[in-house]
């Protein structure tokens, strides 16, 4: 195809990929009552968008594909179909499509389905817009829209106070970080007069170092909050009140990736800032370790998966901190697939058994065979067992961490790998293989199976895309990969990389740790004495290492201040006029003093 | 004496204003509150007159004062009408009693 | 007729825009009484039971719509670069960028409120008074926007106040309304008098009241500097009562929650803003002497934001919560103006102007939506109690359109994209960061955090509406007439439009911003 034709098709393909789901959202809202029309509309739009996003991949380029000027401080609506953007948009759209299909069975019979599907479609469009944006204002807009959808879907069951509280908490905690993104974007605008991302990344070298540092750390805060990293991790477990397909889509496979995406995109700009890369690495490392430890003691299945997500995102952030952007994105791809798989599998289990507590499950391998196999595949990928996708990407992350990061950090990550194996095996055993506690359990419905099977297949084979994936990055991200030499293109690169991984000693060390983790679980009765000794630590871990207490303290303090302030609204007109008189006297005093001094 | 007569008048009139404001702070009967408001208003009107004289345009100051007088009369009528309604429906004119809307 | 539209019949078009609502106001009242007499007489002959809304509402609405025509003419003339002034004796009027902005907001919101109020007060007595007063208030606001001398400004200001006193206490048989009206009257009158004192001080020092002449005289150094600065402080507090600056804000929660919902929408949406415009005009003349006015605007803005949020957090009555939220939004407007005045940021003034428009739309929408629910759930059954948050439970199923409109309003107020509230706040914050000073950036961060905090009290309302189990009030609620849903739909469209295409407003915000900066920069003239 000639370049002109490519450009033309990208120009309409980009806004279509972002905004078609929004059209679908409006259509679904109008369709109103639940029924076949509603579901058909939702599925049609979701599938259409998935197809469009896949069509976008070959069109990837390093040039802005679409631009619409909005004027002044409002920048322009522009999209850039580069490596990060197209693959994350495809992930969002494809997993979104599978989540919608899964929801057909999961949400059957529920109230407010038009609201549900409308919000999901709205979210998919916003997520695509976020990753494809070439303009910081638009990125902030889409960032906040995903937060809005996340809140609305977490508190979907509005009658449940836990869900409502979880939704508000999610929005406020991610919003705190979002303030960092907003401030950073505005600071960039103040400095160069434009919100355009490629322009900023080119001119970043000319920024005063102090300013660049502030922006870099502000962006780090925003990313940490969105990806539920330390110290903003408290919202994700509470977000598990959402219907499980939402947990799979938003809180495992797409929205939480936004933080990692942000760090990856701006990594070459901020890595010269002293202390930035190390901070990123530390944030990732601490999150990975703490979250893994909390997953080990959790009894709610979705909570385990939530902490697991935080932990795996920690691996990705750690990789970026060590300068390994490609490896982090590859792990992100693997993680999206297997984590969505795990959550949807968990959704099937929860839907069938009616509880989220793993202690009330058990023996489900017999009654839910397909779900069990799917979940097991996801679990093996998470634990990092070859030849599943999680193994390859995690090993790449660890290797790059060993090569360019501090050694002690590598050791912590290695221990985390062991913990990962431990909690994964624990979860699988408690749900599927423990002595049965649950009375009635039925296999997943047909729509659920339709969503689970492709994801399971993906977990088995997605690692094969490593080569083309790398090519995509080399081709479209000149700032990240300045030395884009002609490498072995396509699948050949995959095999090269695979051989590299298999032959590295670090790999076998990691596999060994995984085996150790598994053995610890298998022989846990023998290790019970460790459990009693560490009981205090367990309690601390269950309580979230004090972060929950901090959150609680802050909200109570704010409410208390508000309550205390109510005294000023006394209802007495005399007091009201009194306030006015005091204001006059004080203001006169200030004004005359300053004015008298010649201000 | 280099102090302008009108300066003295101004100070006196501001004193009137202060009395009115002080009344608003401590008076509890609604009708008396209206009276205090009136003292405040009339003081302000006199400021207008004095201001006109001080700046050498007495006619303008006086015509402004009369206009304000008219506007203020309308407000007073409304205030008294409200006071009557309050007395009718709440049975009291005490400002401490008509403070149900609070916090 | 070509462009610009020239509709100068005897008077310029923009004077017609002001005159129409005011002059026809007594006629509306009389005609309304006639209609009422006719209706009462026919009821006596053949009782039909249900009290229908007085048809005078259509006349009133028609006048509002008609007033848009001279407004458009004036806009086109202004855009073509003409100076629109009129001087009669010592009274002078001028139609400039600020007048344009205020008139647009007042006319659109006023027309929609007029339409909404028809069925809303359809069960009450004295409807003709309401419509006449609403028209008079709107006309007075249009006039105040065009005032070019201090005294004129004060007279229009007082007219707005008098009309609003009666409208707030419209339900004159409810003790709560009366209490709100009394407190509003006492505080607002005190404020007006303080403004008059300030005007008197300025007059005594310079001998003129015309804004342009005053600016020139003060720049030339006439009058005692200290007395003029004192007058500035008095302007701040006096107008500050109307603007609901903390600590002069205590009348606001009572008045805005007790007034009929259409009036609440007007009060929060445009009447507060007329106070801001008046303050700007008045400060503009003494801007030469000192540069601390900007700092004061920033300080008041910051305090308003946090006090409004903290108080709103603890409210259980819906309209009271919205009233406190108005405090916060006034804070944003003052912040933007502060950035413009202190740091010379044009985006600050434009952002404030944009926020004036979006706030009028979204707060208007919020109050009208709450009013629709109040009507459906309580007023139609004769219950004059306030709308509690708990009443909203399950409203989403029974009243889907109203719930959606209310949700759009609340999320826009919280500053979430793709709605108008986000865009106007964004512009204000952008100007603050551009200013570059650490204070400005700290205030921007403070503003963003406040925006986040406000979500904590808007979100629960939305969640309540979409519950599956309806409250007792919702189950027993009545239908909402079409006259009340049409304004909701229109305002919702406006809010969303401002959110996805913020440049739509620039035809109004840019001229207004230019005027504000011209007033406050040392080189600018009037």
C382-440 pLDDT, tens digit each: 888 899 999 999 898 899 999 999 999 999 999 998 999 999 999 999 999 998 888 99
The model's pLDDT over A180-223, given as tens digits with 9 standing for 90+, comes to: 999 999 999 989 988 899 899 989 888 999 999 999 999 999 99
Q: Is residue A596 part of a domain?
A: no
Angstrom distances, CA of residue A141 to CA of A137, A182, C25, C378: 6, 9, 45, 38
The model's pLDDT over A150-184, given as tens digits with 9 standing for 90+, comes to: 999 999 998 899 999 999 999 999 888 888 999 99
Q: How far apart are CA C449 and CA C32, in angstroms?
A: 49
Q: Torsion over CA of C361, C364, C368 and C374, rounded to 10 degrees?
A: 140
Confidence (pLDDT) at A7: 56
The model's pLDDT over C242-294, given as tens digits with 9 standing for 90+, comes to: 999 999 999 999 999 999 999 999 999 999 999 999 999 999 888 877 778 99
> Contacts of residue C449 in chain A, CB cutoff 8 Å?
176, 179
Q: Is residue A395 part of a domain?
A: yes
Q: What is the mean pLDDT of residues A303-316?
A: 95
**C311 in Cβ contact with C247 (< 8 Å):** no
Multiple choice CATH, B5-102, 1.10.287.3510, 3.40.190.10, 1.10.10.10, 1.10.730.10: 1.10.287.3510
The model's pLDDT over A11-68, given as tens digits with 9 standing for 90+, comes to: 888 888 899 999 999 999 888 777 888 899 999 999 999 999 998 888 888 778 788 8
The model's pLDDT over A123-146, given as tens digits with 9 standing for 90+, comes to: 999 999 999 999 999 999 999 999
Q: What is the mean pLDDT of residues C57-78?
A: 92
Write out the two tokens for C386: 């306030």
Q: What is the mean pLDDT of residues B12-25?
A: 90
Confidence (pLDDT) at A485: 54
C438 Cβ contact partners less than 8 Å away, ≥ 6 residues apart: none
Å between B21 CA and nearest CA of chain C: 8
The domain of A380 spans: 3-542
Confidence (pLDDT) at A573: 87
Residues A230 and A346 in one domain: yes
Residues A48 and A152 in one domain: yes
* Length, in residues, of chain B: 103
Q: Could you report the predicted ipTM of this complex, rounded to two decimals?
A: 0.94
Number of domains making up chain A = 2
Which SS3 state, helix, strand or coil, does residue C502 take?
Answer: helix
Residues A484 and A573 in one domain: no
Which SS3 state, helix, strand or coil, does residue C81 take?
Answer: coil
Partner-chain contact A158 C467, CB within 8 Å: yes
Residues A565 and A421 in one domain: no
Residues A85 and A201 in one domain: yes
Residue B93 touches chain C, beta carbons under 8 Å: no
Among candidates A391, A398, A412, which has minimal Cα distance to A288?
A412
Question: How much of chain A, in percent, has pLDDT values that exceed 90?
Answer: 45
Q: What are the residue boundaries of the structural domains of chain B, listed by start?
A: 5-102
Confidence (pLDDT) at A155: 92
Across chain A, mean pLDDT equals: 87
Write out the two tokens for A495: 């095999």
Partner-chain contact A573 B95, CB within 8 Å: yes
* Length, in residues, of chain A: 599
Q: Is residue A329 part of a domain?
A: yes
Confidence (pLDDT) at A392: 87
Å between C22 CA and nearest CA of chain B: 16
Residue B46 touches chain C, beta carbons under 8 Å: no
The model's pLDDT over C79-104, given as tens digits with 9 standing for 90+, comes to: 888 888 888 887 899 999 999 999 99
Write out the two tokens for A465: 């895309």
Per-residue confidence at C325, pLDDT binned at 50, 70, 90?
very high
Widest pairwise Cα distance in chain C: 75
- DSSP secondary structure letter of residue A206: G
Q: Is residue A597 part of a domain?
A: no
Residues A449 and A310 in one domain: yes
Considering A102-116, A302-316, C69-83, the range whose residues carry the highest mean pLDDT is: A302-316
Q: How far apart are CA C240 and CA C236, in angstroms?
A: 5
Residues A12 and A108 in one domain: yes
A534 Cβ contact partners less than 8 Å away, ≥ 6 residues apart: none
> Contacts of residue A577 in chain B, CB cutoff 8 Å?
21, 24-25
**A563 in Cβ contact with C314 (< 8 Å):** yes
**pLDDT greater than 70 at residue A6:** no
Q: Is residue A9 part of a domain?
A: yes
Residues A436 and A519 in one domain: yes
Question: What is the sign of the dihedral through the CA atoms of A2, A3, A4 and A8?
Answer: positive
Residues C486-495 as b/e (b if ≥16 CB within 10 A, e otherwise) read ebbebbbebb
Partner-chain contact A581 B103, CB within 8 Å: no
Residues A63 and A186 in one domain: yes
Partner-chain contact A190 C434, CB within 8 Å: yes
Confidence (pLDDT) at A74: 79
Confidence (pLDDT) at C10: 77
Write out the two tokens for C519: 């007033």
A570 burial via Cβ count (<10 Å: 0-12, 13-18, 19+): middle
Q: Is residue A547 part of a domain?
A: no
Residues A537 and A567 in one domain: no
Residues A188 and A307 in one domain: yes
Q: How far apart are CA C285 and CA C273, in angstroms?
A: 19
Confidence (pLDDT) at C125: 84
Confidence (pLDDT) at C270: 95
> Contacts of residue B21 in chain C, CB cutoff 8 Å?
190
Of chain B, the end-to-end C-alpha distance in Å amounts to 54
Task: Tell me which chains share at least 3 CB pairs under 8 Å with chain C.
Answer: A, B
Residues A404 and A486 in one domain: yes
Per-residue confidence at B1, pLDDT binned at 50, 70, 90?
very low
Among candidates C272, C288, C187, which has minimal Cα distance to C232?
C288
The model's pLDDT over A363-401, given as tens digits with 9 standing for 90+, comes to: 888 888 899 999 999 999 999 888 888 888 998 899 888
Per-residue confidence at C526, pLDDT binned at 50, 70, 90?
very low
Confidence (pLDDT) at C82: 84
Among candidates A340, A342, A312, which has minimal Cα distance to A328?
A312
Å between A574 CA and nearest CA of chain B: 5
Confidence (pLDDT) at C50: 62
Query: Could you tell me which residue, C123 or A411, shows the higher pLDDT?
Result: A411
Conformational region of residue C411, where left means phi above 0, alpha means psi within -120 to 50, and beta covers everything else: alpha
Write out the two tokens for A490: 């396509």
Å between C396 CA and nearest CA of chain A: 10
> Contacts of residue C336 in chain A, CB cutoff 8 Å?
none
**pLDDT greater than 60 at residue C522:** no
């Amino acid at each position: 195809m000639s370049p002109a034709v490519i450009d033309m098709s990208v120009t309409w393909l980009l806004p279509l990929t972002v905004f078609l789901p929004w059209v679908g959202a409006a259509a679904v809202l109008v369709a109103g009552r639940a029924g076949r029309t509603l579901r058909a509309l939702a599925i049609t739009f979701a599938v259409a968008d998935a197809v469009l996003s896949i069509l976008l991949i070959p069109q990837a380029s390093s040039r802005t594909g679409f631009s619409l000027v909005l004027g002044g401080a409002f920048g322009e609506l522009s999209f850039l179909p580069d490596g990060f953007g197209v693959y994350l948009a495809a992930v969002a759209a494809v997993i979104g499509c599978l989540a919608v299909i899964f929801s057909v069975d999961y949400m059957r019979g529920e109230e407010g389905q038009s609201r549900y599907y409308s919000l999901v479609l709205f979210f998919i469009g916003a997520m695509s817009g976020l990753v494809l944006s070439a303009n910081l204002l638009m990125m902030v807009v889409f960032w906040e829209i995903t937060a809005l959808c996340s809140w609305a879907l977490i508190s979907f069951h509005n009658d449940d106070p836990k869900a409502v509280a979880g939704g508000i908490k999610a929005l406020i905690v991610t919003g705190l970080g979002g303030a960092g993104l907003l401030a950073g974007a505005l600071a960039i605008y103040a400095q160069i007069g434009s919100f355009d991302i490629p322009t900023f990344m080119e001119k970043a070298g000319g920024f005063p170092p102090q300013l660049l540092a502030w922006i870099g750390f502000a962006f780090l805060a925003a990313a940490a909050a969105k990806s539920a990293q330390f110290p903003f991790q408290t919202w994700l477990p509470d977000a598990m009140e959402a219907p499980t397909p939402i947990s799979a889509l938003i809180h495992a496979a797409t929205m939480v990736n936004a933080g990692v995406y942000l760090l990856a995109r701006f990594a070459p700009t901020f890595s010269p800032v002293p202390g930035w890369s190390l901070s990123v690495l530390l944030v990732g490392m601490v999150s990975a370790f703490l979250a893994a430890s909390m997953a080990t003691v959790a009894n709610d299945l979705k909570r385990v998966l939530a902490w697991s997500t935080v932990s795996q995102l920690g691996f990705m952030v750690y990789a970026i901190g060590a300068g390994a952007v490609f490896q982090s994105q590859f792990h992100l791809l693997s993680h999206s697939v297997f984590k969505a798989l795990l959550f949807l599998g968990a959704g099937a289990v929860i839907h069938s058994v009616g509880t989220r507590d793993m202690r009330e499950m058990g023996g489900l391998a017999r009654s839910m065979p397909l779900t069990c196999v799917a979940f097991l595949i996801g679990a093996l990928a998470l634990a990092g067992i070859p030849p599943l996708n999680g193994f390859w990407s995690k090993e790449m992350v660890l290797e790059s961490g060993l090569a360019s990061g501090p050694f002690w950090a590598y050791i912590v990550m290695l221990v985390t790998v062991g913990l990962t194996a431990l909690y994964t095996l624990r979860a699988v055993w408690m749900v599927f293989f423990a002595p049965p506690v649950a009375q009635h359990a039925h296999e997943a419905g047909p729509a659920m199976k339709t969503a689970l099977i492709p994801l399971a297949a993906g977990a088995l084979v997605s690692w094969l895309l490593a080569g083309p994936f790398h090519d995509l990055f080399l081709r479209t991200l000149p700032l990240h990969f300045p030395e884009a030499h002609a490498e072995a293109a396509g699948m050949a690169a995959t095999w090269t990389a695979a051989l590299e991984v298999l032959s590295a000693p670090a790999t076998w060390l990691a596999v060994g740790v995984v085996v150790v983790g598994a053995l610890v679980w298998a022989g846990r009765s023998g290790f019970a004495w460790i459990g009693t000794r560490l009981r205090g630590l367990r309690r601390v871990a269950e309580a979230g290492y004090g972060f929950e207490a901090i959150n609680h303290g802050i909200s109570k303090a704010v409410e208390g201040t508000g309550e205390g302030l109510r005294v000023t609204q006394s209802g007495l007109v005399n007091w009201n006029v009194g306030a006015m008189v005091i204001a006059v006297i004080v203001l006169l005093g200030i004004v005359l003093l300053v004015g008298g001094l010649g201000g | 004496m280099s102090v302008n007569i009108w300066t003295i008048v101004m100070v006196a009139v501001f004193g009137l204003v202060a009395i009115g404001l002080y009344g608003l702070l401590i008076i509890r009967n609604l009708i008396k509150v209206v009276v205090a408001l009136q003292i405040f208003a009339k003081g302000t009107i006199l400021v207008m007159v004095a201001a006109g004289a001080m700046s050498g345009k007495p006619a303008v100051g006086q015509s402004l004062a009369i206009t304000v007088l008219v506007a203020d009369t309308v407000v007073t009528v409304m205030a008294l009408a409200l006071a009557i309604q309050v007395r009718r429906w709440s049975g009291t004119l005490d400002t401490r009693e008509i403070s149900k809307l609070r916090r | 007729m070509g462009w610009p539209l020239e509709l100068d019949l005897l008077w310029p078009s923009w004077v017609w825009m002001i005159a129409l609502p005011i002059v026809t106001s007594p006629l509306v009242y009389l005609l309304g009484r006639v209609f009422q007499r006719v209706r009462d007489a026919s009821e006596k002959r053949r009782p039909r039971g249900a009290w229908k809304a007085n048809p005078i509402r259509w006349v009133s609405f028609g006048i509002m719509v008609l007033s848009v025509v001279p407004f458009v003419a004036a806009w086109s003339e202004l855009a073509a670069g003409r100076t629109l002034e009129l001087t009669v004796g010592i009274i002078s009027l001028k139609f400039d960028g600020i007048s344009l902005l205020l008139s647009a907001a007042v006319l659109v919101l006023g027309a929609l409120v007029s339409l909404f109020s028809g069925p809303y007060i359809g069960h009450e007595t004295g409807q003709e008074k309401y419509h006449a007063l609403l028209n008079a208030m709107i006309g007075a606001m249009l006039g105040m926007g065009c005032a070019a001398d201090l005294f004129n400004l004060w007279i229009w200001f007082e007219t707005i106040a008098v009309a609003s006193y009666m409208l707030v206490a419209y339900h004159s048989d409810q003790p709560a309304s009366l209490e709100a009206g009394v407190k509003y009257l006492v505080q607002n009158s005190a404020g007006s008098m303080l403004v008059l004192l300030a005007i008197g001080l300025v007059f005594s020092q310079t001998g003129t009241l015309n804004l342009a002449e005053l600016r020139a005289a003060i720049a030339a150094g006439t009058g005692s500097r200290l007395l003029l600065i004192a007058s500035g402080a008095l302007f701040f507090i006096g107008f500050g009562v109307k603007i609901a600056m903390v600590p002069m804000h205590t009348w606001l929660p009572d008045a805005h929650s007790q007034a009929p919902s259409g009036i609440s929408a007007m009060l929060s949406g445009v009447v507060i803003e007329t106070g801001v415009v008046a303050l700007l005009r008045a400060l503009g003349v003494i801007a030469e002497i000192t540069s601390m006015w900007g700092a004061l605007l920033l300080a008041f803005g910051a305090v308003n934001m946090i006090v409004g949020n903290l108080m709103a957090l603890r409210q259980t009555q819906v309209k009271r919560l919205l009233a406190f939220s108005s405090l916060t939004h006034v804070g944003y407007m003052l912040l933007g103006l502060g950035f413009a005045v202190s740091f010379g940021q044009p985006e600050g003034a434009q952002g404030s102007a944009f926020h004036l428009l979006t706030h009028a739309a979204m707060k208007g929408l919020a109050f009208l939506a709450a009013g629709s629910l109040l009507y459906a759930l309580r007023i139609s059954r004769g219950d004059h109690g306030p709308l509690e948050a708990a009443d909203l439970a399950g409203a989403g199923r029974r009243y889907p359109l109203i719930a959606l409109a209310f949700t759009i309003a609340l999320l826009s107020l919280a500053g979430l994209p793709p709605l108008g509230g986000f865009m106007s706040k964004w512009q204000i914050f952008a100007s603050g960061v551009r200013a570059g000073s650490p204070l400005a950036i700290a205030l921007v961060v403070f503003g963003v955090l406040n925006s986040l905090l406000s979500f904590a009290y808007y979100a629960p309302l939305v969640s309540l509406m979409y519950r599956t189990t309806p409250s007792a009030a919702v189950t027993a609620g009545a239908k909402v007439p079409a006259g009340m849903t049409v304004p909701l739909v229109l305002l919702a469209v406006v809010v969303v439009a401002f959110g996805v295409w913020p440049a739509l407003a620039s035809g109004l915000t840019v001229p207004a911003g230019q005027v504000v900066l011209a007033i406050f920069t040392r080189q600018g003239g009037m």
